[in-house]
Structure 1
Amino acid sequence: MTSTTTSLPQGFIPVMLTPFLESGEVDYDGLKTLTEFYLNAGSAGLFANCLSSEMYELSEQERIDVTKTVVDQVAGRVPVVATGTFGGTITEQAEFVKRIYATGVEAVIIISSLIVKENESDAIFQRNAKELISLTNDIPLGFYECPVPYKRLIPVKVLKELVETGRVIYHKDTCLDYEEVKRRIQVAEGYQFGLYDAYMVNAVSSLKAGAAGLSCIQGNIYPELIAWICKYFNDADRQGDVKKVQQFFVDSMDIVHSAYPTIAKYSLQKRGFPILTYTRREVEELTKELKNEMDQLLITVEKLQNELGITSNFTEYLVK
């Protein structure tokens, strides 16, 4: 069956951060400003209420409020997706999917490791996923192979059957395997489905293989470069620049994953963006050494963006 669901746009769909006040409360005004930042950087869509958003550290109501704030701020300019499964029975998860969908998102994302236990089989995963699909009416869905609580990769054969329901339009891929990415894209051909790779080592190769775009944590540090690669990866006249940006992604892998998401908030601060480094997650300390490494990385980012003709001016889009 071919889906009548609208597919998401091709390009960069960032996994959004959540800004907090010094009190530890969600900074909703800051979230509106941050939303504009992603849009101005060239995002084709937004993934709210995800792991980078500290979704597990948000209350149930905060998950709803964060998602609704982003949807309202975007006001239809790009589609928004958001996580809708946080454990419990499949019936309970289906009910929260409906609540998240009611905020106005384009699709609700299912965490692959929350609908089945780690020691349970792919057959049980497939059964539970299909039950969840059947309990959520015609809501467009997506899957995210989130590393927390554990990483559950979806076998190609299972993914094919889920896509064939016509309900699955987004997949945040974390398999880290270019050949597997190609197989996943191939089994979904003909459906309104997009694979968005999270692994920037394979950014260009995945895009050239037919990935719809990229959904990566690097987009919280240098989103303009992620949007740029999504636009120019196949441009014959820019292949030298494409190789240079791809190599930069490889070279900066370690630092962007250190003390995350604190380091991402720090990097935005250093670029002049109004955000605190406060996080509710327990992560490694953002040491002086890590700060120095990020400072140097941001100098490289600025130089690279200048070479590519990318400009970014925070003051243009700050929410008044």
Structure 2
Amino acid sequence: MTTKKFVPVMLTPFQDGNAIDYNILEGLIEFYLEAGAGGLFANCLSSEMYHLSQEEMLASVSFIVQKVNGRVPVVATGTFPDTLENQAAFVKEMYRTGVDSVIVITSLLAEEKDSEDVFEARVNQLLALTDDIPLGFYECPVPYKRILSSDFLGELVRTGRINYHKDTSLNINSVRAKVAASKDAEDFALYDAYMVHAVDSMKADSAGLSCIQGNYFPELIVWLCNHYNDDSIEVDKVQQFFAQNMSVMHDTYPPVPNIYSKNEDWVSLKFAAMAVK
């Protein structure tokens, strides 16, 4: 049975006044690793990435990489609203923190009205502007959701530059098609965000799970990654638990907004996007 991994989407703890609380962040890193996380996704939507300065992003990711100290891979977002050239420049800065892959937000490379041809051309431009830096993709729902086609993902993976993808299609057939399109790549991993079909996704040969539910029950998700292929009532019960409680977990995420969120409007924005995370 292929080993599956849980990659949590990291929260960012803040002090009063909105400075990052690095003492709590260090404890959070250990919390994820002690639960059995096989990697960390830093500077993501759950990390309040759109409300961090570039200096805060780089400092917090550098801190995470240092504290992890090679125990698991670390990936972090490196593209934000800006020109393609400036996005590429920040990708390079983020890579210098020591992350294993810099994550590209699919909805920031083209506007929602733009065609797939425009989007694909801009992806290829970004690859050309970022030398040989390993990249990944995240179908982030903010500012809007742009889903990669399986054919295009397969093309990207074959360049040897793409080693990570966080899927938010919410569609098991889309996951299966993407896995099939990238099946010959040794260093590529697709992680699914949608816990409703978590077991089916791993049986379809996704690399594992990267979901907000991991900030509630990381040990349970690690257990599911280890036992997804067991023919047991326990696996069925865990899968059913996550499916039945999907809306509850999204409605209360992040669990303590006044501690973890830097901006109350951003919390509202996340809640509005909760159905498509």
Q: Could you say which TM-score interval applies, normalised by the shorter chain? A: over 0.9
Distance in 2 of aligned mates of 1:108 and 1:199: 22
Counterpart mapping for 1:1-320 below 5 A: 10-191=4-185, 192-236=187-231, 239-261=232-254, 263=255, 265=256, 277-281=259-263, 282=265, 283-284=267-268
Indicate if the aligned counterparts of 1:24 and 1:278 stay in contact, CA closer than 8 A. Answer: no
**One-letter amino acid matched to 1:163:** V
Corresponding residue pairs, total? 264
Which is higher, the Rg of structure 1 or of structure 2?
A: 1
Equivalent residue, structure 2, for 1:300 = none
After the TM superposition, which segments of 4 or more aligned residues of structure 1 sit over 3 Å from their partners?
A: none
Match for 1:214: what amino acid?
L
C-alpha distance in structure 2 between counterparts of 1:37 and 1:115, whole Å: 34
Q: Which amino acid aligns with 2:114?
A: E
Give structure 2 stretches of 5+ with no counterpart.
269-277
Secondary structure of 1:277's counterpart equals helix
Distance 1:278 1:208, change over 3 A: closer
Cα distance between partner residues in 2 of 1:66 and 1:158:
32
CA RMSD, 1 decimal: 1.5
CA distance in 2, matches of 1:91, 1:138: 16
Residues 246-300 of structure 1 deviation map (CA, whole Å, 9 limit, x = unaligned)? 0010111011111422x2x47xxxxxxxxx734113225xxxxxxxxxxxxxxxx
CA distance in structure 2 between the aligned counterparts of 1:223 and 1:205, rounded to whole angstroms: 19
Q: Give the whole-Å Cα distance in 1 for the aligned partners of 2:202 and 2:60.
A: 30
Between the aligned partners of 1:277 and 1:87, the Cα distance in structure 2 is 26
- Superposed CA deviations along residues 71-103 of structure 1, whole A, max 9, x for unmatched, are 011011001000000021211111100101100
Q: Give the AA of the match of 2:89.
A: E
Match in the other structure for 2:271? none
Question: Using a 3 Å threshold, how does the CA distance of structure 1 residues 31 and 195 change in structure 2: closer, same or farther?
Answer: same
Deviation at 1:14, TM superposition (A): 0.5
The CA distance in 1 between the partners of 2:163 and 2:61, in whole Å, is: 19
Whether contact under 8 Å (1:22, 1:278) holds in the other structure is no
What is the TM-score when the length of structure 2 is the normalising length?
A: 0.92
Q: TM-score, normalised by structure 1?
A: 0.80
Q: Measure how far apart 1:224 and its partner are.
A: 0.6
Q: Note closer, same or farther for the CA distance 1:233–1:10 as it changes in structure 2 (3 Å cut).
A: closer
Q: Provide the rounded CA distance (Å) in 2 between the counterparts of 1:246 and 1:105.
A: 31
Q: Distance in 2 between matches of 1:124 and 1:59?
A: 28
Alignment-mate amino acid for residue 180 of structure 1? S
State the one-letter code of the partner of 2:119. F
> Is the CA contact 2:11–2:260 (under 8 Å) kept in the aligned structure 1?
no
SS at match of 2:166: strand
Match of 1:271 in 2: none
Contact 2:12 2:260 in 1 (8 A): no
